[in-house]
Amino acid sequence: MVDSTAQTPAVGQFDHGSLKVTSPRLKKRWAAEFRLKLYGILALSAAAFALVALLGSVVINASKALTETYVTSEVTIDPEVIGVTADAPPEEIGRAEFGNLVDEMIEAKFPMASGRSAKRELDELISGGASFELADKVAANPSLIGETVTFDFLASDTTDLYLKGEFGALSDEGAEGLLSVSEGEDGTLTLSTSSNDFTEALKQVKTHLYEVAESLRTKADRQQNAVEVYTQRAEAAETEDDRQRQLDSAERARDNRDELLAEADMLEERAAGASGAEQVDDDNISILINAGGGWLRLTEVNRASGKAEMLTRVDLPIENSSDWTLYTSALPESERAISDRQIAWIETLKADGKTESVFNTRLFTAADSRAPELAGIKGALIGSLWTMLVTFSLAFPIGVLGAIYLEEFAPKNRFTNFIEVNINNLAAVPSIVFGLLGLAVFINVVGVPRSAPLAGGIVLALMTLPTIIIASRAAIRAVPPSIRDAALGVGASNTQASFHHVLPLAMPGILTGTIIGMAQALGETAPLIMIGMVAFIVDAPTGITDSATVLPVQVFRWSDFPERAFEAKTAAAICVLLIFLVLMNLIAIILRRRFERRW
Amino acid sequence: MYDAPTLERTVAKDDIKFAARKVQVYYGDTHAIKDVDVDIEDKTVTAFIGPSGCGKSTFLRCLNRMNDTIDVCRVEGDIYLDGEDIYDKRVDPVQLRAKVGMVFQKPNPFPKSIYDNVAYGPKIHGMAKNKAELDEIVEKALRRGAIWDEVKDRLDAPGTGLSGGQQQRLCIARAVATEPEVLLMDEPCSALDPIATAQVEELIDELRQNYSVVIVTHSMQQAARVSQKTAFFHLGDLVEFGETGHIFTNPEDERTESYITGRIG
């Protein structure tokens, strides 16, 4: 220290050095600035990536809901099947047994499907809604009864999803050799090819066996752990009874383990077998053959031969035919919602050009339904609109007037301070609490109808109010005081100054706040569930007192449904919600521009 | 040294418009104006001068009760306009402000059209029965504001689109549109360039024919040019009040002399 003071130059003699050489201090500063920029860019990139990933996954999922599938077929409207005649009143025709007609139509296409379960699987190809649509058509034109008409039957969700590749498309394994199929005495079909066409399929079957064996061994490991635990407990047991019980448990686990291991050994042995034929059950991959105008499923497979069963009618015998295709489906039949039989039927319909995919207008024109192919968002959309209408017409005037009062007229005292603090606190109250309030006060005490947009709107208005008040106050405060002075200076009263000058200038800010609040309300789920807007509503509400649901609640409900097809519907509903939010922001921007350009 | 114009101006009338007696103003605990007694004459330009923070703007704002809008501000003493106490409980400040117009330091036209700027006051006071009458009032006000020729072709254009000097004259036109009897001007030229300042000063001189004008200014030259009476404020006290020529050439108080010669302030 002492030394350095001796060397320190006098004040005003700081050495700045050459301008051409950047000083180390400055270099550090630049580096810090560069790092800061880098962090900013990184943060932005991460956010952008998250946004793109989110939007991408939603949009990709939603795109599956954009089309729906129809099965086109001729159908004879047989009065005996539907149970009404052409002279019956239209209402009765609308209620007639068209379901049977639709079932018979599809069953007639695949006469091989006999037996209850086969028929049920067949009927599942067509949506339950198809019969209603046919009924509506016939009811509108009773002269069709007895006629044969061509009608587009709405396909069921499984058919639709299969055609969109949701259950794993069939993969074409190619077929080089010539196929021969012959029917044995007992009805089993024996296949053979002239080259080893089934080698690849056999390999997949064996791979699958290995995988199953692997998972069995994992389970066996777990049993082994159990054995050890029980043995330890037995050693530590204090009474003979307890010890015996633990030993028994250990014994049972040991047996389980041995069983699993034995099964795994067996499977691996089968898989390792060099050339033996392999059984294919429905836990293994599906091997399907399209030949002779129909579909076969292999039940036993070897390199160039196999046994099969018929899925759809195949003209037998086939001898040295080159016109055949081998398909495999990696997903075992037992793990998908669609059976091999159904795949064969759908593929047949598709090959015949009977299926058609069209834009899904139903998504926007139908209300909720348990059947995914019939479900639409119209009900939720209209429910949302009604709710927003109530919210806006309550929250906007109250919020803006409250803000004006607090900003322009209220005396500054403890009471107004208290109110101010509480408004700020309200903005941070969890929305579910507002739902509870709505349930307890508005529904139970005031008697607002349950599940109605009125109740939802009131609750959301409460939730939005603080946002609007805070934003409006900020906007009003941002108006230069000179404008207020000018108005007061020419003799305007406080009210006139506020409403003629301050409010119009604050409007852009107020609108922005309002729209942010409304957007928040539009996406709100929890309080609405609380007040029962989670109901299953099949009709669009026609007013603010009808039972209704809203878009985010619909999304929530659909995401909870087990049917696979609702996944796409959920994503589609989310997209619509997002589009609405974007539209609202757009309106906010347009309004803002308009107000700003007014003069 | 300041070369004051010694031109003696004749004061047309001796009518007292404003009479302030023992006026005290407090901002919270701060005593901003102390014991100010002043008589402001009709058809006269009275200038308030003094260093920053001396209370001249505060006192000006007392004259049309603009201080009412400031919560912590408290006014004591009596201010009479034509013999009526303006701080009387029965006096509505809104009515007072229609009678005592004000022009502010920064031009503050409403973000509306030029026409609407001027028409706003007459409209809210119900001075026009129909559009034609309103048009007439607006034209008259804009002519008095000496800006008519510049804006007569674009009355629908936004007032905020005018130049600074034009905006200030528009504000003056707006203030005179309500036919006030007194016009208060709080440093009306501080945001203007010398040419615009000259225009506004000329205008003030013309306005004197009809109004009593009170102007707060930082520029002693301006006070000397436009006013007949001058009041010098210092630290909340009214130090000296009298004929402008007298104040500038022969100040009685030491502080006044120091200020006008540039030693303090």
In this model, does residue A191 exceed pLDDT 80? yes
In this model, does residue B6 exceed pLDDT 50? no
Question: What is the rounded CA–CA span in Å between residue A360 and residue A61?
Answer: 14
Q: Write the CB contacts of A346 (distance below 8 Å, at least 6 apart in sequence).
A: A125, A159, A162, A163, A338, A355
The enclosing H or E element of A231 equals helix A199-236
Between A and B, how many residue pairs show a Cβ–Cβ distance under 8 A? 69
Q: Among A249-258, A266-275, A438-447, B63-72, which stretch is predicted with the lowest mean pLDDT?
A: A266-275
What's chain A's average pLDDT?
87
Give B61→chain A minimum CA distance, Å: 10
Burial class of residue A18 (count of CB atoms within 10 Å of its CB; 0-12, 13-18, 19+): exposed
Question: What is the rounded CA–CA span in Å between residue A84 and residue A349?
Answer: 30
DSSP output for A67-136:
EEEEEEEEEE--HHHHT--TTS-HHHHHTS-HHHHHHHHHHHH-TT--SHHHHHHHHTTB-THHHHHHHH
Residue ranges per domain, chain A? 22-63, 67-163, 171-336, 372-596
Higher pLDDT, A503 or A97: A503
CA atoms in the 13 A half-sphere facing the CB of A382: 20
Question: Testing the interface with A: which of B67, B108, B118 to mutate, by most A Cβ within 10 A?
Answer: B108
Contacts 24+ apart (CB under 8 A), A556-562: A556/A525, A556/A529, A557/A368, A558/A375, A561/A372
Torsion over CA: B75, B77, B82, B87 (sign)? positive
pLDDT at A464: 93
Question: What is the rounded CA–CA span in Å between residue A99 and residue A110?
Answer: 17
Q: Nearest by CB to A490, which of B69, B101, B159?
A: B101
What's chain B's average pLDDT?
87
Give B120→chain A minimum CA distance, Å: 8
Helices (H) and strands (E) in chain B, counts: 10, 10
Q: What's the pTM?
A: 0.78
- Give the residue carrying structure tokens 């399929």: A201
Q: Does B94 touch chain A (CB under 8 A)?
A: yes
Q: Does B109 touch chain A (CB under 8 A)?
A: yes
Closest residue in A to B184 (Cα) is A489
- Give the residue carrying structure tokens 């000397």: B224
Contact A489 B98 (CB under 8 A): no
Contact B178 A491 (CB under 8 A): yes
What residues in B contact A598, CB-CB < 8 Å? 111
Which CA distances in Å does B89 have to B65, B92, B180? Answer: 12, 8, 21
Q: Among A95-99, A127-131, A430-434, A576-580, which stretch is predicted with the lowest mean pLDDT?
A: A95-99
pLDDT at B14: 57
In this model, does residue B158 exceed pLDDT 50? yes
- Ordered alpha helix ranges (H), A304-428: 340-351, 362-365, 378-404, 414-426
pLDDT at B48: 93
Print the SS3 string covering B88-100.
Answer: CCCCCHHHHHHHE
Is A364 within 8 Å of A378 (Cβ atoms)? Answer: yes
DSSP output for A250-275:
HHHHHHHHHHHHHHHHHHHHHHH-SS
Taking every pair of C-alpha atoms in chain A, what is the biggest distance, in angstroms?
120
In this model, does residue A8 exceed pLDDT 70? no
Burial class of residue B149 (count of CB atoms within 10 Å of its CB; 0-12, 13-18, 19+): exposed
What residues in A contact B109, CB-CB < 8 Å? 486
Q: Which one, of A398, A404, A599, A402, lies nearest residue A502 by Cα?
A: A404
Question: What is the rounded CA–CA span in Å between residue B55 and residue B27?
Answer: 11
Give B8's pLDDT tier (boundaries 50, 70, 90). Answer: very low
Contact A491 B177 (CB under 8 A): no
pLDDT at A9: 54
Interface of A with B (CB under 8 A): 411-412, 480, 482-493, 496, 500-501, 505, 598-599
Question: What is the rounded CA–CA span in Å between residue A37 and residue A31?
Answer: 10
The enclosing H or E element of A462 equals helix A453-477
Give B123→chain A minimum CA distance, Å: 10
Q: Which one, of A464, A443, A456, lies nearest residue A390 by Cα?
A: A456
pLDDT at A401: 94
Is A186 within 8 Å of A95 (Cβ atoms)? Answer: no
What residues in B contact A491, CB-CB < 8 Å? 94-95, 97-98, 121, 124-125, 178
The DSSP 8-state label assigned to residue A1 in this structure reads: -
Mean pLDDT, rounded, for A484-508: 90
DSSP output for A539-577:
S---STTS----HHHHHHHHHH-S-THHHHHHHHHHHHH
Higher pLDDT, A501 or A203: A501
Question: What is the rounded CA–CA span in Å between residue A278 and residue A287?
Answer: 12
pLDDT at A100: 86
- The per-residue pLDDT for range B11-23, each reduced to its tens digit, is 444 578 889 999 9
Question: What is the rounded CA–CA span in Å between residue A386 and residue B146?
Answer: 56
Mean pLDDT, rounded, for B235-240: 89
pLDDT at A436: 92
Q: Does B190 touch chain A (CB under 8 A)?
A: no
pLDDT at A351: 87
Is B168 within 8 Å of B189 (Cβ atoms)? Answer: yes
Is A529 within 8 Å of A554 (Cβ atoms)? Answer: no
What residues in B contact A413, CB-CB < 8 Å? none
Q: Both tokens of residue B55? A: 């209370």
Question: What is the rounded CA–CA span in Å between residue A231 and residue B179?
Answer: 107
Q: Nearest by CB to B124, which of A484, A491, A599?
A: A491
Closest residue in A to B102 (Cα) is A489
In this model, does residue B4 exceed pLDDT 90? no
- The per-residue pLDDT for range B80-138, each reduced to its tens digit, is 998 889 998 888 888 898 889 999 988 999 988 999 999 999 999 888 889 999 999 99
Rama region for B126: left / alpha / beta (φ>0; ψ in -120 to 50; rest) = left
Question: What is the rounded CA–CA span in Å between residue B17 and residue B38?
Answer: 11
List the strands of the sheet with B16-27, edge to edge.
Answer: B84-85, B73-81, B16-27, B30-41, B237-243, B229-234, B45-49, B212-216, B182-186, B100-103
pLDDT at A275: 59
What residues in A contact B95, CB-CB < 8 Å? 491
Contact B177 A490 (CB under 8 A): yes
Give B2→chain A minimum CA distance, Å: 34
Question: What is the rounded CA–CA span in Å between residue A64 and residue A58?
Answer: 10
Taking every pair of C-alpha atoms in chain B, what is the biggest distance, in angstroms?
57
- Phi/psi for A292 (5° steps) reads 55, 30
Give B191→chain A minimum CA distance, Å: 14
Closest residue in B to A500 (Cα) is B120
Contact A491 B104 (CB under 8 A): no
Q: Dihedral, CA atoms, B122, B126, B131, B132, nearest 10 degrees?
A: -80
Q: Nearest by CB to B108, which of A483, A500, A598?
A: A483
Give A241's pLDDT tier (boundaries 50, 70, 90). Answer: confident
pLDDT at B10: 43
Q: Does B77 touch chain A (CB under 8 A)?
A: no
Give A87's pLDDT tier (boundaries 50, 70, 90). Answer: confident
Question: What residues pair up with A298 in beta bridges, in sequence order?
Answer: A308
pLDDT at A104: 86
Give B206's pLDDT tier (boundaries 50, 70, 90). Answer: confident
Q: Write the CB contacts of A105 (distance below 8 Å, at least 6 apart in sequence).
A: A73, A75, A153
Q: Could you tell me the domains of chain B? A: 16-260 (3.40.50.300)
Q: Nearest by CB to B94, which of A411, A412, A493?
A: A493
Q: Nearest by CB to A489, which of B71, B95, B175?
A: B175
Is domain A372-596 in CATH 1.10.3720.10, yes or no?
A: yes
In this model, does residue B192 exceed pLDDT 90? no
Q: Nearest by CB to A501, which of B110, B160, B171?
A: B110
In this model, does residue A1 exceed pLDDT 50? no
Contact B112 A599 (CB under 8 A): yes
- Ordered alpha helix ranges (H), B125-261: 131-144, 148-151, 164-177, 194-207, 220-226, 244-249, 254-260
In this model, does residue B246 exceed pLDDT 60? yes
What residues in B contact A490, CB-CB < 8 Å? 97-98, 101, 120-121, 124, 174-175, 177-178
Mean pLDDT, rounded, for A326-345: 86
The DSSP 8-state label assigned to residue A316 in this structure reads: S
Mean pLDDT, rounded, for B230-256: 90
Give A593→chain B minimum CA distance, Å: 15
What residues in B contact A503, CB-CB < 8 Å? none
Q: Does B154 touch chain A (CB under 8 A)?
A: no
- Give the residue carrying structure tokens 């009864």: A145
What residues in B contact A411, CB-CB < 8 Å? 71
